[in-house]
């Protein structure tokens, strides 16, 4: 017994993207049904609510449709090159003038207005925040302060919220958030921290309207963070990926950091329970191997290159690349400290030698 095309489409609407793609390899009938644009549109809309916007839909069709958009943005970016202190030192030895000339050449083909950010935050498979940014905020003075100051895209700011915190993402006990009766107990057992780490997800899709390409710069699951920072009620969570920066920065590699800050608040009843969580900060930053923030000029070139980076469906590959980066970064810091210690020792010995020589001459 064969199934008609309409029934097949209804079935395929209820599967995830991986299953849908695999179904297209089974037979010609399934292949035809699996390439139906409206199926991929519904899949993208459920995964990324920001794509429901009419202008964003037009943009996605200009990129090649929802099927292509999903295949570009669902996989995570991964740096395939093995990061090591030797590799970083080789990149560092390259001429600063060569890097500057390369960036000047690339900047002719990229502008802050070329980028669109589609940001969606999930908690326990429920969308709690969604926003679209056209262009890069505060980048009007491209050849002035933006070009030389640390690069940052702030999705949530004080201007997004009204007097009653309207527009701010909230998670409550109704969403599955565990109730915290004591901050002191939370510091010890970290129940809320584990809940956030295991269940909060971030997607940050960057679209280049000029190149007609898109990439998801988020790692979906957190890569790092700090609990109770800078206050007992704040949680700092890091997502992101490692991006290549050959010919752009001294060490040839950067970390794209997506910073999410959450703050817990009481239930408003006055019984001392903490049952609400508010998303107070969400931003993108680029940081080089030395721990310095990358400026706007170089960041635009790096983000443009990120559009064609390797992708993976395996989170462990992303995690491995991240740990390699941290290891090389720590080795670089140790090497720098040893060099500085050696210089200090030589300076001290030189001072002692000079003092002895002066004493000898005086005598």
Q: What is the DSSP string of 17-44?
A: HHHHHHHTTT-HHHHHHHT-HHHHHHHH
Q: How many CB atoms lie within 10 A of CB 220?
A: 17
What are the beta bridge partners of residue 322?
none
Coil vs helix vs strand at 115? strand
Position 115 scores a pLDDT of: 95
First to last CA, the chain: 112
CA distances from 61 to 36, 305, 357 (A): 13, 22, 79
Strands 200-208 and 213-216, bridge-based pairing: antiparallel
For the chain, state the CA radius of gyration. 25
Coil vs helix vs strand at 164? coil
- Do 244 and 309 meet the contact criterion of CB atoms below 8 Å apart? yes
Q: Phi/psi at 223 (nearest 5 deg)?
A: -105, -25
- 85-92 helix and 315-362 helix, angle to the nearest 10 degrees: 70
- Do 101 and 135 meet the contact criterion of CB atoms below 8 Å apart? no
Q: How many CB atoms lie within 10 A of CB 64?
A: 14
Give the side-chain half-sphere CA count within 13 A for 332. Answer: 22
- DSSP character for 55? H
Q: Phi/psi at 148 (nearest 5 deg)?
A: -110, -15
Strands 152-154 and 170-172, bridge-based pairing: unpaired
**CA–CA separation, 45 and 51 (whole Å):** 6
> Max Cα separation, the chain?
112
pLDDT averaged per 10 residues, the chain (length 363): 58 64 62 74 92 96 93 89 56 62 77 94 91 86 75 76 57 83 82 90 95 94 86 90 87 91 72 76 92 90 92 89 88 83 87 85 73
* Burial tier of 262 (Cβ tally within 10 Å: 0-12, 13-18, 19+): buried
Position 178 scores a pLDDT of: 83
What are the beta bridge partners of residue 238?
224, 259
What are the beta bridge partners of residue 243?
254
Token pair in block for residue 102: 């390369």
Cα-to-chain-centroid distance, residue 215: 11
Q: How many CB atoms lie within 10 A of CB 51?
A: 24
CA distances from 300 to 69, 186, 212, 294 (A): 21, 40, 16, 10
**CA–CA separation, 61 and 335 (whole Å):** 50
Q: Which conformational region is residue 277 in: left (phi greater than 0), alpha (psi within -120 to 50 degrees), or beta?
A: beta
- Do 214 and 235 meet the contact criterion of CB atoms below 8 Å apart? no
- DSSP character for 295? B
- 37-47 helix and 66-73 helix, angle to the nearest 10 degrees: 40
Q: Is the dihedral of CA 225, 229, 230, 234 positive or negative?
A: positive
């Amino acid at each position: 017994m064969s199934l008609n095309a309409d029934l097949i489409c209804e079935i395929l609407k209820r599967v995830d993207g991986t299953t849908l793609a695999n179904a297209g390899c089974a037979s010609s009938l399934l292949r035809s049904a699996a390439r139906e644009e409206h199926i991929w549109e519904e899949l993208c809309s459920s995964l990324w609510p920001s794509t429901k916007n009419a202008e964003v839909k037009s943009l996605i069709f200009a990129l090649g449709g929802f099927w292509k958009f999903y295949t570009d943005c669902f996989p995570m970016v991964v740096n395939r090159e093995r990061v090591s202190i030797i590799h970083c030192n080789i990149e560092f030895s390259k001429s600063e003038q060569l890097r500057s000339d390369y960036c000047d050449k690339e900047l002719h083909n990229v502008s802050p207005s070329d980028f669109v950010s589609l940001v969606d935050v999930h908690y326990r498979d429920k969308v709690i925040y969604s926003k679209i940014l056209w262009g890069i905020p505060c980048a009007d003075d491209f050849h002035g302060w933006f070009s030389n100051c640390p690069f940052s895209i702030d999705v949530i700011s004080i201007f997004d919220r009204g007097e009653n915190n309207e527009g701010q993402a909230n998670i409550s006990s109704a969403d599955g958030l565990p109730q915290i009766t004591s901050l002191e107990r939370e510091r010890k057992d970290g129940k809320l921290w584990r809940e956030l780490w295991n269940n909060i997800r971030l997607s940050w899709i960057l679209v280049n309207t000029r190149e007609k390409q898109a990439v998801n710069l988020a790692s979906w699951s957190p890569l790092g963070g700090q609990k109770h920072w800078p206050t007992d009620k704040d949680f700092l969570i890091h997502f992101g990926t490692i991006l290549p920066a050959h010919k752009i920065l001294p060490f040839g590699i950067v970390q794209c950091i997506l910073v999410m800050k959450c703050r817990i608040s009481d239930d408003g009843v006055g019984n001392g329970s903490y049952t609400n969580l508010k998303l107070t900060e969400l931003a993108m930053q680029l940081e080089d191997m030395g721990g310095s923030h990358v400026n706007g000029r170089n960041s635009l070139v790096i983000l443009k290159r990120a559009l064609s980076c390797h992708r993976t469906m395996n989170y462990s590959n992303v995690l491995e690349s991240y740990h390699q980066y941290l290891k090389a970064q720590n080795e670089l810091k140790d090497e720098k400290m040893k060099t500085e210690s050696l210089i200090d020792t030589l300076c001290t010995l030189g001072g002692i030698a000079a003092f002895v020589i002066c004493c000898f001459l005086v005598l």
